[in-house]
Amino acid sequence: MTFRVITTDLEELNYLQFVIKETLRLHPPGPLLIPRECREETKINGYTIPVKTKVLVNAWSIGRDPKYWHNSESFIPERFENSTNDFKGNHFEFIPFGAGRRMCPGMLFGLVNVAHPLSQLLYHFDWKVPDGVNPNDLDTIESEGLIARRKSDLYLIATPFGLSK
C-alpha cells in the first residue's frame, strides 16, 4: 500500500492518527504501565487485593484481548474509523497512557511529539524497505523491560520526495 501525506496539519491527518492509535494498541511503550502499590485492601472481581500489594496492569495484553478487539493481533488502523474508542482513560480495553487520576499527564505532549515528526518524515520522503526484504517479514517484536522498544533495528531507505524513480 502506498500512503502519501499531503498535508502536515495534524487536525487533518485522520488516517495517521488511526495508525498511531493502532501502534499504541499493539505496542504500548509502557506495556505494564507504572507499578503501583495498593493503599487499602480492595476487592476486584471476587479477588481480594491486600494492602501494600504491588499492582502491575498488563496494558499490552489488554490491547490484544480478542474479547474486545476483532483480529486482535492484526494491524488494522481502520478499526478506529467511526469508533469512539480512545485512549483518554474512559475505555479500559485501550490504556497505553493508563487511566484514572494517575494516568499520564504528558499524553497530549507525547502524542504531538509522535505525530508531528512522523507527518514531516512522511511528507518529505518516500520510504521503502531495502532490496530483498519483504515488508511482511519485518520483525515487530519488542524488547522486555519497563519501557518497550523494537528488539531489532529497523532499516529503511528514505528518498526525498520527488527524487524517487
Q: Which is nearer to ligand HEM, 128 or 150 (CB)?
A: 150
Among the listed ranges 63-71, 78-86, 91-99, 133-141, the one in contact with ligand HEM (CB under 6 A) is: 91-99
Q: Which is nearer to ligand HEM, 4 or 39 (CB)?
A: 39
Interface with ligand HEM (CB under 6 A), residue total 16
CA-CA distances (angstroms) from residue 1 to 21, 34, 90, 121, 127? Answer: 19, 36, 33, 17, 12
Q: Is residue 98 a contact residue for ligand HEM (CB under 6 A)?
A: yes
Q: Which is nearer to ligand HEM, 102 or 150 (CB)?
A: 102
Among the listed ranges 74-82, 94-102, 135-143, 145-153, the one in contact with ligand HEM (CB under 6 A) is: 94-102
Binding-site annotation: residue ranges: 104
Between residue 31 and residue 60, which ones bind ligand HEM under the rule CB under 6 A?
A: 33-34
Can you say whether the dihedral through the CA atoms of 7, 78, 140, 134 is positive or negative? Answer: negative
Applying CB under 6 A, the residues found at the interface with ligand HEM are: 29-30, 33-34, 96-99, 102-106, 109-110, 114
